[in-house]
Structure 1
Amino acid sequence: MTRQKNNTLWAEYPVTRGDLDIRILATGTVQPENRLEIKAPIAGRIDEVLIKEGTVVRKGQIIAWMSSTERAAMMDSARARGPEEVTRWEELYRRTPIISPLAGTIILRNVEPGQTITNSEAIFAMSDRLTVKAQVDETDIAKIQLKQKAEITLDAYPETQIPALVDQIAFEAKTVNNVTTYLVDVLPTSTPEFMRAGMTANVNFHLASKKDVLLLPSEALRLIDGKSTVAITVNGTVEDREVTVGLSDGKKSEVLAGLKEGDVALRAELNSAASGSKNPFSPFGNSRRPGSGGSRRKN
């Protein structure tokens, strides 16, 4: 709300009671924490694939069956001679299993039954868990702590907030276009099925929170001689009052002393209709405060 008095426009900022949540926002990308490529133990042909992308597997689980090049040729010959030959050679010449080397999630399936493969190409890729690698500005990195609570929001699913914890903070910075950031690994406490590697993510790091405290819009505050100060009306005259502030999220500040709920802080705004030039860097311009005279408006 804005009111005018003695040719000065005064923005009003009421002191209210509410909750304050201090956060840092960073962007990042969903990546496997540990990505492992799975290759065939021998060259040959894929007989059967038992999993698909997104399947959660355990260590030692069989994820596909294959035949060596020799077995594949023998089985093709047996099929031409009839079912009995197929059964005979299946018992004599067993298929080769492809086994998951660790517990995790299959994130890439690059093979189909009947496909000929070598033992040098990756046919599956898996990760033990998905994490978000967030880029945190160097000015904020000191506020990030291990096991700190955070929330992940994916651009593909903006309505869903995923609870998470800070898992790792990089020791080495990266500088791109003169902006220095640190990579912070943020691990979901429970990974949703729709989360995919490569997705763009936003991370809210929780720094502090307070419930039911006195709040004042931060733009109402001014720093005078190193002290937080607000302008208030006392008996029709605007006076400066020193206040003690606590936490701030940049938009709202916690008031610890100097104001009470319902008080209204003021801040002068530029009035283009008033005569004379004004200093835009001064909280009161060149206008005099109400009660002490003021410039006259042009008609």
Structure 2
Amino acid sequence: MALNGNGKNGRKRRKRWIFLGSGAAALLLIVVIVSAALRPNHAIDPDKLATVERGDIARSVVATGKVQPLTGVEVKSKASGIVEKLFVDAGDRVRAGQVLAELDKEQLQAAVGESRANLGAAEAAKQAADASYQKNIVDAEGPDVPFLKSDMQRAQDSYKQGLIALNAMQDAQKNYQLALNRQMSAQRNVQVSKADVAEAEAQIAQAKAALDNANENLQYATITSPIDGEVLSRDVEIGDAVSSILVLGSQATLVMTLGDESEVYVKGQVDESDIGKVYLGQPARISVESFKDKKFQGRVTKIAPLGVEKDNVTTFEVRVSIINATGELRANMSANAEIILEEKKDVLLVPEGAVIFDKDKSTSVDLVDPKSDTGRRRIPVKVGISNGVKAEVLSGLSQGQQVVLQ
């Protein structure tokens, strides 16, 4: 019985030790887990890391605007009428003097015929007035007056001598008086006929002017290109009515828009805080939506001397010209002209988000340092120009080092 009791007690003691051992192990595991959970984790999220690398950087200002042809012309007609023929379409190349369109000429040709007939009538009236004037001049000189006066005096002497009858003398006196009256009347008519000649000359001048105008209108019915370039838009179709620019001015019908796109420009606005850094001939890079991976080279060719204030912000108009030999840039494309203020090639670059500025405007960055208690180490650096995304590193970092984005 005693052995059995000892055996049972031994088994109880072994179970108790096993239980205590398991509890101690479990407690140790809990302590390890809790310690691991409470221990600071200094690993840095890879998304917060950036590598110092080499590249090109430029400091610039951006002028946003539209692509415009350097030479652009709105073609309007000097004559009114109906479009009868169109010889070009949008996208066609044209030369100066090339016929673009023709208006219906029937009424214009009729006007030319009427004006020519009026000129003929005026010239005929002038001839008649000249003939009358010349006749009056001759009559005003009275070529037969001296002869008839002598004849009258001889008749009077003969009558006194009783050689002729009274009625013969009276006839001589009458003939002389009639000639004298004709002379005086002609002298008065000279001024009248002279005025008739002047009026006829004025009628001729007026008729010639009307004929010239009719001929010009007939010529204006043929619309030609004023420049070498490209048809940017054709704004009328056959059968459309066209109003004259000579009558309606800027409100006249737009027939076509032409432009020379071999050289184009972007007209944009630059803030007054940056305009002092912009100068004529300054290089610029132009980007458009149609060619997202391509930059076009240009230069500043115009800076407005007068700023424009809007919403308390003053801006200056700047024009950037681009040689468009390939014709890729087209009118009215939205474009950004990046005017280069300063550019560096093959320099160390770091994201601006990694640069730390203190109250003294000193700059520093956090380097990845696994040995540090925080997993990072702050070092001073010297930065150069920035483009708003990346900054040039002048000293303090080497290529390949990893920095922490703040």
SS state of the match for residue 219, structure 1?
A: helix
User: For the structure 1 residues 73 and 195, does the alpha-carbon distance in structure 2 shift closer, same or farther, using more than 3 Å as the test?
Assistant: farther
CA distance in 1, matches of 2:285, 2:395: 32
SS state of the match for residue 335, structure 2?
A: strand
The answer (yes or no) to whether the contact 2:63–2:268 under 8 Å persists in 1 is yes
The correspondence for 1:259, drawn from 397, 400, 405, is 397
Aligned to 2:255: 123
CA distance in 1, matches of 2:404, 2:82: 78
Aligned to 2:75: 38
Cα distance, 1:216 vs structure 2: 1.9
Aligned to 1:226: 361
Cα distance, 1:119 vs structure 2: 1.9
CA distance in 1, matches of 2:404, 2:235: 65
Residue type at the aligned position of 1:209: E
What is the number of residues matched between the two proteins? 246
Aligned to 1:112: 237
User: For the structure 1 residues 138 and 8, does the alpha-carbon distance in structure 2 shift closer, same or farther, using more than 3 Å as the test?
Assistant: farther
Cα distance, 1:190 vs structure 2: 0.6
* RMSD, aligned α-carbons: 3.7
The correspondence for 1:134, drawn from 251, 264, 268, is 268
CA distance in 2, matches of 1:55, 1:197: 14
Normalised by the length of structure 2, the TM-score is 0.50
Cα distance, 1:256 vs structure 2: 1.7
The answer (yes or no) to whether the contact 1:45–1:72 under 8 Å persists in 2 is no
User: For the structure 1 residues 12 and 32, does the alpha-carbon distance in structure 2 shift closer, same or farther, using more than 3 Å as the test?
Assistant: closer
User: For the structure 1 residues 167 and 57, does the alpha-carbon distance in structure 2 shift closer, same or farther, using more than 3 Å as the test?
Assistant: farther
Q: Name the structure with the higher strand share.
A: 1
Q: Deviations over 1:2-31 (max 9, x none)?
A: xxx967786554433333344444421233
Cα distance, 1:123 vs structure 2: 2.0
SS state of the match for residue 186, structure 1?
A: strand
User: For the structure 1 residues 55 and 257, does the alpha-carbon distance in structure 2 shift closer, same or farther, using more than 3 Å as the test?
Assistant: same
Normalised by the length of structure 1, the TM-score is 0.65
SS state of the match for residue 140, structure 1?
A: helix
SS state of the match for residue 70, structure 1?
A: helix
The answer (yes or no) to whether the contact 2:63–2:267 under 8 Å persists in 1 is no
User: For the structure 1 residues 61 and 147, does the alpha-carbon distance in structure 2 shift closer, same or farther, using more than 3 Å as the test?
Assistant: farther
CA distance in 1, matches of 2:236, 2:404: 69
The correspondence for 2:388, drawn from 250, 261, 264, is 250
The correspondence for 1:184, drawn from 305, 309, 318, is 318
Cα distance, 1:41 vs structure 2: 3.1
- Unpaired runs of 5+ residues, structure 2, are 1-38, 112-214, 246-251
- Larger radius of gyration, structure 1 or 2? 2
- Unpaired runs of 5+ residues, structure 1, are 75-92, 270-299
Cα distance, 1:176 vs structure 2: 3.2
Residue type at the aligned position of 1:117: V
SS state of the match for residue 276, structure 2?
A: helix
User: For the structure 1 residues 113 and 169, does the alpha-carbon distance in structure 2 shift closer, same or farther, using more than 3 Å as the test?
Assistant: same
Cα distance, 1:71 vs structure 2: 4.6
